[in-house]
Amino acid sequence: MPPSRWLRYVGAFLLPAPCWAPRVRWLGFLRQPSLVHGCPVLGAWHSARRWCQAWTEEPRALCSSLRMNGDQKSEAYAREKWDFIQHFSQILNVLTEETGHPETGDAIARLKEVLEYNAIGGKYNRGLTVLAAFQELVEPKKQDADSLQRVLTVGWCVELLQAFFLVLDDIMDSSLTRRGQLCWYKKPGIGLDAINDALLIEACIYRLLKLYCREQPYYLNLIELFLQTTYQTETGQTLDLITAPQGDVDLDRFTEKRYKSIVKYKTAFYSFYLPVAAAMYMAGIDGEEEHANAKKILLEMGEFFQIQDDYLDLFGDPSVTGKVGTDIQDNKCSWLVVQCLQRASPEQRQILQENYGQKEAEKVARVKALYEELELPAVFRQYEEDSYSCLMGLIKQYAAPLPPAIFLGLACKIYKRKK
């Protein structure tokens, strides 16, 4: 009997939850209190049930089953998100309270405005991942109010790092909108002063880590993690900028190898590895092997995420994504242009050469039409399915001893996303 069929038969007996199985939060049936929380019987049931489903279902069906855990999961997620958003007011007060230096009052007022405009309004996925991963890794009795306050704060540090990057990235890309509103530098009276505002946001990360985590054994690990991630992301941004300088269109630079390097450093480290690694350190998991294995999964997930972003930049709905894409105008080394170059005839490459990296609307439209002629939307859909299957294989191979739910939950959040 094929292994997949055997797993289906076994899974059929494991799918109904025993009457003594605890109610769980955050990821519904994917939570695994067992291996981390020390309950071997529940562990065997949770693990067998989850893996029988995960490795015998198609990606679409698996994500559907994750999402169909119904109102209970949605309500739990809504509560977690509400708690996370509410915590922002606390850290805002901490960062902008009276410092004993009244002469800096105007600067503190500016900081408050900067934080309220740029840190709020996103999906909060990166910050919430810190919370979700921590709850998977630490047994409930050790999740006291103080530790959860620290986790929420570190989650907001990840969100502030994102805000810091985005304020500067919008300036460099000449972007117009972000999260459904004008980019910060585009607001009247702001302009290039936004550069200093971004530096203020970055400084807040280390103020918060010091205020909330200085006495914890993982403090140094967190400081080093944020510093290293910032360097990696800025390295990726450098690769992005020198590969696609404005006004100098060189299609030969747009190779798949260069694209993967940009994505790995510019997106994957800070969007996926950082939040999970932060939770691991806070849970006392600092082994090199555990972090290396998590990184293998999460960097692949980051590449998947960025390719989605590149696709949505052109083919997404701005009313849903919250931003107007400018990758074509900005001469970006995006997944779409790399795929186009791999498939284009000499005549089509010439069309790309004449129109890519130009601001005129008709030239942007011509590039989009070329992508459609080459059926890149269909290529993307096939890539999405293949990449998701690859992620499932990596999770199966490298997740242990961490709960696979951490990685499965992230994968299903981004699979088929529209923004």
- Left, alpha or beta for 345 (phi > 0: left; psi -120 to 50: alpha)? beta
Residue 169 designated active-site: yes
From 170, 197, 240, 327, active-site residue: 240
From 134, 164, 380, 407, active-site residue: 164
Sign of CA dihedral 226, 232, 238, 249: negative
Residue 123 designated active-site: yes
Residue 315 designated active-site: no
From 178, 264, 295, 366, active-site residue: 178
From 5, 60, 79, 123, active-site residue: 123
Residue 240 designated active-site: yes
Residue 25 designated active-site: no
SS (H, E, C) the chain: CCHHHHHHHHHHHHCCCCCCCCCCCCCHHHCCHHHHHCCHHHHHHHHHHHHHHHCCCCHHHHHHHHHCCHHHHHHHHHHHHHHHHHHHHHHHHHHHCCCCCHHHHHHHHHHHHHHHHHCCCCCCHHHHHHHHHHHHHCCHHHCCHHHHHHHHHHHHHHHHHHHHHHHHHHHHHCCCEECCEECHHHCCCCHHHHHHHHHHHHHHHHHHHHHHHCCCCCHHHHHHHHHHHHHHHHHHHHHHHHHCCCCCCCHHHCCHHHHHHHHHHHHHHHHHHHHHHHHHHHCCCCCHHHHHHHHHHHHHHHHHHHHHHHHHHHHCCHHHHCCCCCCCCCCCCCHHHHHHHHHCCHHHHHHHHHHCCCCCHHHHHHHHHHHHHCCHHHHHHHHHHHHHHHHHHHHHHHCCCCCHHHHHHHHHHHCCCCC
From 269, 272, 304, 305, active-site residue: 305
Residue 317 designated active-site: no
From 49, 88, 173, 304, active-site residue: 173
Residue 381 designated active-site: no
List Cα–Cα distances, 230 to 164, 165, 385, in angstroms.
10, 9, 31
Residue 71 designated active-site: no
Residue 146 designated active-site: no
Burial class (CB in 10 A: 0-12, 13-18, 19+), 164: buried
From 309, 313, 327, 330, active-site residue: 309
From 170, 197, 310, 313, active-site residue: 310
Burial class (CB in 10 A: 0-12, 13-18, 19+), 297: buried
From 8, 67, 110, 169, active-site residue: 169
Residue 173 designated active-site: yes
From 266, 295, 323, 332, active-site residue: 266
Active site members: 123, 164, 169, 173, 178, 240, 266, 305, 309-310
